[in-house]
Structure 1
Amino acid sequence: MKHLQLFTAVGLLALSTVATYANDKTRVSYKEVAVHDPSIVADGSNYYLFGSHLATAKSSDMLNWTYFGGGETDACTLFAKKIGYANAYNTQKITSVQNYKGATVSFGNFNAHSWQCKGNNVQGMQWAPDVVRSRKTGKWLMYMSVNGDNWASSIVCLAADNIEGPYVYQGPVVFSGFQGRYDHNGFTKTNDWTYTDLTIATGATSLPARYNTDKWGSYWPNCIDPCVFYDKDGNLLMSYGSWSGGIWELKLDETTGLRDYTHTYPYEINGNNAAEGGADANTTSDPYFGKKIAGGYYVSGEGSFIRHIGNYYYLFLSYGGLNPNAGYVMRVFRSENPDGPFVDGQGTSAIYSRYELNYGNNSVTNRGMKLMGAYAGWGSMTRGERAQGHNSVLVDNDGDAFLVYHTKFDDGTYFHEVRVHPLFVNEDGWLVTAPFRFTGKQTTQKQIESERLFSAEQIAGTYHLLKHPYQQPCAYNDKTDASFSKANEQKPVTVTLSADGTVSCPSNADYDGTWMFTQDGKSFITLTLNGWDYSGVAIKQNVDGYKDCPATCITATSFDGIPVWLYKEGVTATGIHEIQADQNSTKVQQAYNLAGMPVSDSYKGIVIVGGKKVVRK
């Protein structure tokens, strides 16, 4: 009887705490950084971001970031030798390589600034690097885009013993724009192909007809936006490209960090061997550029990123224009192989067979699984977020994945910040994004696949629901007008999920339907709203921007790639069996607050110890 009285008293206290969360939430701020096109990599207990214009930052928690490196200034510490931009990337370290036949040949000297279109500078055109550690040499390899007008771009490799540098220029990996039509900084357009590695890669002694074109962007890639990754077999691969002739992939040499010239590629059109001739927009494999994996026909698509998560390789792309109102949005495809074919939930290929507008309210193709769109009024948000994209993904040692991207805002500026959200794999093998930023690991993929984190009674309640529709209105002229932004972003509606499996929305019948757990002992969940199924997971998170504000969350997606997010505050998913006084416990175990975060022994209030609620006084 005494135990029951304690249960009632503490239970009332817990209920009171939940009921007053809406008014008692304490705001917290984080150390934000503006790193455009952020590529994330872990080194020990630290996380590093590398972005365009040499923007770099580091963190121990993926939430509070600190700049390092100095950016595109005289104070930059990323590189080993301080030289002017005109002399950057002009003397490489590697002087010989094995060519396409496996013979050792002189690598020559390739000056990336000289290759840029006449009048281009290195400063301001160092875009979207990616960094990986060579498993063979232990060195950190940085792949930098040196962009140029008229596709006169290159991706170069640098190496360092320490992730923070100094990095040393090793040599180029791939060039674009050698069509003999535009002068370069270091030489004229005539026979510009001879200043590339085309002969080393293919044996060409003259410019092949397929590259001799006035419409390079309709057929061939712009060599920027590298993503470098290891596949399951230990091969080091690089995807690259932006708009233009699509996204391509090459095999790299993990010893040098450069292209593996001994790995050759056939010339194929639509996946079939073909005789080399003039340019063909349906080229799917090329002796110089490698294998096409996405895009083509100058459709939008950039910032490719590939990671193996669970049972698939996932290809992330950003469609649309990168400005706040220009329709920038992240899409995902998947494949069982690192070089494709990549498809979406409808089985549609990531490769295009004709030009199709693929972003904004006038888009004509529903391709790729969307991760999120422009939204406002969610959780603690004080301004809407939009134009999220050019993402990377971190997969930790536990197999849990984290989406890292830059976001812009609805305030009429070009300002941007980095965001990190957990990613989960649903029952159908598609990725779904957690509704809130990562503030500490509270739900793992292993838990979803092995535990029922919530009972039906715990799921029941009133939720905020946010749907990210496929077509997102955009201003194709790249306006940043705040009034347009605010008028064209999604805002949440209120729905009720009942323990009997029904979903009701008094304000909009489109959100009426049902919900159900789909497997015993697991946390996979399906929502059926207005006849459409959304497959997802039930997780616990903290509402970012608030201290100790736990939430029950659902994230799900339809087969055609439309995500929905739901959350309700003040509910934990801790498997609570009873409530007991702290002084009755003799076993020392880690304690957690109601947000699922570990706390010290001196923490006072309601904590969870061993799956049970405990009141510490």
Structure 2
Amino acid sequence: MKHPRKPPEQRLFDPRTFEDETTWKTLNTHDPGIFKDEDCYYSFSTDAMYREEERPPFRGGVQVRRSKDLIDWEWIGHAFDGVPKQAKEWTGADGLWAPDVIKINDTYLLYYCTSRFGTRQSFIGVASALSPEGPWTDLGEVIKTAEGDDLEVNAIDPNVLFDKDGRLWMAYGSFFGGIYILELDQQTGKPLAGETGTLLARRDRNVRDGAIEGPYIVYHPQFDYYYLFVSYDSLFTNYNVRVARSRTITGPYTDYLGQSMTDTQHAEPSRIGVKLMGGYRFSSGAGWLAPGHNSVLQDNGVYYMVHHAREEMKKSCFHLHVREISWTEEGWPLVSPERYAGEPLRIVSPSEIPGDWEWIVHDPDADAIVDAIPLSLFLDGSISGPKEGQSWRVADQEMMELRLSDHRFGGGESGKLWSCRGSIKPAWDWENERAALVFTGLTENGISLWGKQIRNLEA
């Protein structure tokens, strides 16, 4: 099969769907964790739903969805009937946030958190089950923090994983004090020692939004790196996904330019961490706002980013997005410009590439949705534009290299040629409801660039 099939319909804002959870599919998914069990995929997410105000209300404890293909999602229910007792007593909160699931031997462990909004009065707990669909038995506290205590860390946003040596760890934290990691006991699923752990990433809260949250760590055996994904900035406006990597799970984590994720003295703090994606808008269809709080799935050697994003025209409506991850030769992740639709794995012929394209630059300094910029690619390897020397070429199978000049693409000085290398693949164009080619790459300055073919030269 050469082109992807049209995926099932996923309706955007429609008030008729909000009263019936079974119709939600991707709708109302916030802070999604991803977990595969045999031939089923499960999304566990913050139990929030749409309302007109910016902060969504909570209905209970952890939403659970299931899919056979990462495209069509089925509502399963709630993992808990409200907030577990210890967490409720500590925080007084009404809902659970940012769950993560791991399997140890025959037992599934669900890590959840809750907090008094805007404070460090926070609680991470864990529950166990014999099935990812429950029923779940609460095992109580993993770690908690209090407003006004001597700790800097905030006990929310758990991500639990095994390192390459089989040791169990939990990354966690947000806003206050940054992201930490601590080792867990595989028998109890709780910390080995009574400590906060090792600092992995931090931001200066006095600069811009200063927010950092939602850690997720993935180890890639081919490159022998641990990758730390986090989300920056405001949940409702300029939220965006960043990544850095380390040879050891406890860091230090550095970005494409070798900058440390704990550097709070950098002259340009928005430039720390590789910005993989932020809010964007192609010329057709509405844009997506504030994508972030991602998890990552490794499935038979293929990696996927799973995250939420808000509708541009109705930003209190948030959805589950799944995107395939490609990798550069140097081992940096690249995220597809389009959501996954079961597209076939195949090599794109150079003759398919010429045509009209749109390009999105995920500028680390961008505070709003980024609009696509039109540039055409021609048969002779040239690219439209006023500057001589702009070009494209297929570098190696699915890899394409661009030479561009416009400073808007992250090249710095206007008119100076710079290069971008990345992956070109078939995808489903969700905005135009048709098959298309897409490109995702990094510039020589470590800035993420997306491209989508709007019209083939032969069309």
TM, length-normalised to structure 1:
0.62
1:371 maps to a residue whose letter is: L
Q: CA deviation at 1:290?
A: 0.8
* 1:333 to 1:412, Cα distance in 2 relative to 1, 3 A: same
The residue identity in structure 2 corresponding to 1:129 is: P
Bigger mean CA offset, 45-54 vs 26-35: 26-35
Pair 1:29-2:2 in alignment? no
The correspondence of residues 542-553 of structure 1 with structure 2, limited to 5 A, is: 542-544=428-430, 549-553=434-438
Aligned partner of 1:251 among 163, 183, 188: 183
Task: Specify the alignment match of 2:322 in structure 1.
Answer: 420
Answering whether residue 317 of structure 2 is matched by residue 349 of structure 1, we say no
Q: 1:545 to 1:464 in 2, by over 3 A?
A: closer
| Structure 1 residue 495 corresponds to structure 2 residue 351 | no
- Is structure 2 residue 133 aligned with structure 1 residue 164? yes
The alignment status of 1:52 with 2:20, answered yes or no, reads: no
Rounded Cα–Cα distance in structure 1 between residues aligned with 2:388 and 2:326: 23
After TM superposition, the structure 1 = structure 2 runs for residues 130-169 of structure 1, keeping only pairs within 5 Å, are 130-134=100-104, 137-148=105-116, 150-169=119-138
Match of 1:524 among 384, 392, 399: 399
**SS where residue 115 of structure 1 aligns?**
helix
Partner of 1:114: 89
Q: Secondary structure in 2 aligned to 1:37?
A: strand
SS at match of 1:69: strand
Cα gap change, 1:27 to 1:570, in 2 (>3 Å): farther
Structure possessing the higher radius of gyration over alpha carbons: 1
Q: Is 1:370 matched up with 2:275?
A: yes
Amino acid at match of 1:153: S
Q: Indicate if the aligned counterparts of 1:462 and 1:496 stay in contact, CA closer than 8 A.
A: yes
1:127 aligns with 2:13: no
Is the alpha carbon distance of 1:354 and 1:442 closer, same or farther for their aligned partners in structure 2, counting shifts above 3 Å?
same
* Sequence identity (%): 30
CA distance in 2, matches of 1:468, 1:388: 12
2:71 — aligned with what?
Answer: 63
* Equivalence for 1:560: 445
Deviation track 1:512-545 (CA, whole Å, cap 9, x = no partner) reads: 72223334xx322221211222121121222236
Secondary structure of 2:89's aligned partner: helix
Give the deviation of 1:494 after TM superposition. Answer: 2.6
Structure whose residues are more often helix by fraction = 1
Q: Quick one: which of 216, 231, 236 aligns to 1:318?
A: 231
- Deviation, 1:114, is 2.9
Q: Does 1:534 align with 2:445?
A: no
After superposition, the CA RMSD in angstroms is: 2.7
Contact 1:145 1:223 (C-alpha < 8 Å) held by counterparts? yes
- The one-letter code of the counterpart of 1:518 is A
Q: Which of 202, 217, 233 does residue 295 from structure 1 map onto?
A: 202
Q: Give the Cα separation in 1 of the matches to 2:166 and 2:388.
A: 46
Shift, 1:297, TM fit: 4.5
2: distance between equivalents of 1:168 and 1:258? Answer: 15
Structure 2 counterpart SS, 1:293 = strand
| SS of aligned partner of 1:503 | coil
Could you say which residue in structure 2 is the equivalent of 1:242? 174
**Unaligned regions of 5+ residues in structure 1, if any?**
1-17, 19-24, 71-77, 90-110, 181-210, 262-286, 357-362, 448-452, 474-487, 573-617
**CA apart distance, 1:115:** 2.5
Partner of 2:20: none
- Unaligned residue ranges in structure 2 (runs of 5+): 11-24, 48-61, 406-416
State the Cα deviation string for residues 375-424 of structure 1 (Å, max 9, x = none). 2235xx53211100001111102x11111111012214411111111010
Partner-residue secondary structure (3-state), 1:567? strand
TM-score with structure 2 setting the length:
0.82
Query: Compared with structure 1, are the counterparts of its residues 347 and 511 closer, same or farther at alpha carbon in structure 2 (3 Å cutoff)?
Result: farther
Letter of the 1:330 counterpart: V
Q: After superposition, where does 1:277-292 map in structure 2 within 5 Å?
A: 288-292=195-199
Equivalence for 2:59? none
Match of 2:22 in 1: none
Q: Which residue of structure 2 lines up, in the alignment, with residue 188 of structure 1?
A: none
Residues 545 and 60 of structure 1: CA distance in aligned 2, closer, same or farther (over 3 Å) = farther
Q: For the residues of structure 2 that align with 1:179 and 1:290, how far apart are their CA atoms?
A: 19
